[in-house]
Amino acid sequence: MVVIRLARGGAKSSPFFNIVVADSRNRRDGRFIERLGFYNPVGKEGAENVRIARERLNYWVGKGAQMSDTVSRLAKKLPAATA
């Protein structure tokens, strides 16, 4: 099964997440098919903390990929015009 999920990066106390399309059997931070964007939960106020390629997200969902709960929450939060 193909999933759209967060892959963690960054330092110990400053997490940074890439939004990736991956096979569900691969590790969380392991091999992925495509990077769709990023999420920075500790970013500065006023900076761009979330970016998702909306076209590619719709493409993968159309192909049957399942979004994780967190990614679906982030996608709903973004306005349709951005990303």
How do residues 6-44 score in pLDDT, each as one tens digit?
Answer: 999 999 999 999 999 999 999 999 999 999 999 999 988
CATH tag for 2-77 (out of 1.20.1440.230, 3.30.1320.10, 3.40.50.10860, 3.50.50.60)? 3.30.1320.10
So where are the chain's domains? Answer: 2-77
What amino acid occupies position 46? G
pLDDT of amino acid 81: 55
Tokens for 18, please give them.
Answer: 């890439």
pLDDT of amino acid 79: 76
Global confidence as pTM? 0.89
CA dihedral 40, 41, 43, 46 (to 10 degrees): 100
If you compute the radius of gyration of the chain from its CA atoms, what whole number of angstroms results?
A: 13
**3-class DSSP state for residue 69?**
helix
